[in-house]
Chains A and B, each alone.
Chain A
Amino acid sequence: MSFSINREGEVVVVDVEGQLIVGNRQELKQKVLDELDRGEKKFLIDFSQTGYIDSSGLGVLVSLSKKIREQGGELRLANLNDDLKTLFELTKLDTLFQIADTRDRALQSF
């Protein structure tokens, strides 16, 4: 499991590879917060290579969403597979996040 960060124009794109769970959630949080501290405002987290997410991972996404908003930034999520969509729907987090089917659509939505 790992996280890679790339830039697409003004957008910081984070790819979550593997699981986003209690054992690695802090790593993701820190990477995004570091970018936020550098003044980045637009963030996209791409889950196309993600297996599953636990409640800690979901909690980190909520936390990041709040922190990005507090700094006047925006967060989009993209490429949730059916399992991840189910998790977001069960917890109603699909109402909290702006979720796009594809990376391109997410990038266009900023």
Chain B
Amino acid sequence: MQPRDPGDSFTMRRIGKHAARILVVLLLGGFLGATLVRLAPGFGVDEEELDSRLSQDSIQALRQSPAVETSLPAFYLHYLLQLLHGDLGTSQTLRLPVRQLLAERFPETLKSVALGLSAGWTFGLALAMLAAMSRVGWVGLGAFLLASVLLCIPAAVLAMLFVIAQAPGRLVIGLIVFPKIFHYAHSLLARSACLPHVLTARAKGLGSTRVLLWHVLPVAAPQLLALAGVSVSLAFAAAIPVEVLCDLPGIGQLAWKAALGRDLELLVNLTMIVTLITLMANSAADLAAQPVREGEA
């Protein structure tokens, strides 16, 4: 029997740690969400109570439904048990199971977010590399100005401008992600490009591409991977105004409808799911960056 590699057990420990952190944060978030739903004004009040045809006994029976009577811990426990059985509850406004709504709308958001992230990262990183390595000043200045202007425009306005221009709305997510990627990647690459070993490589006559790929990018890689995790959260947040204004039937639009209809159960479930994705993306980025950090050390 082969002895276990200590590196493997270290990696497993790290994965376990991340999984435990995700679980704790989700349980905390779930508790806060459940508290919000339970304490919201109007919780447990059914529209049917307004029906004048109902007798006093029927209204009383409606008011004494189990959900209204349970205390907060009992309500949370019930919510968790439901969750473990894959039941995310029912939307009050749309009168449909939350699970069904998610199944219908989540792929649309994933498509938008994936396209936005790809576009944002491609342009952001490409321009950052060009600006950091190029000796032509106007390239960096032009990219910097573009990123700075985009940083000052709200996502909803960009989405509206795309609607007016009849351009594909999904690209707006890319424009929201792009300036953050550009600014952060540019400062990272510029800092890495000034390191002594990079200057030595340049002095020895190595080409810009080789210097970038072999000496600059590996140094900046761990932080860029961390940025990848953060950009997922940014993209999901931008999905709300984009889907609302560009009429894309994703979970962003669903969250907005839930907010306007005060459908807290749906809203809390959506927020928790997006949080889970964000946490998983951050953990994946952190785990992916670990070998790079160890290699540098």
Partners in one complex: no
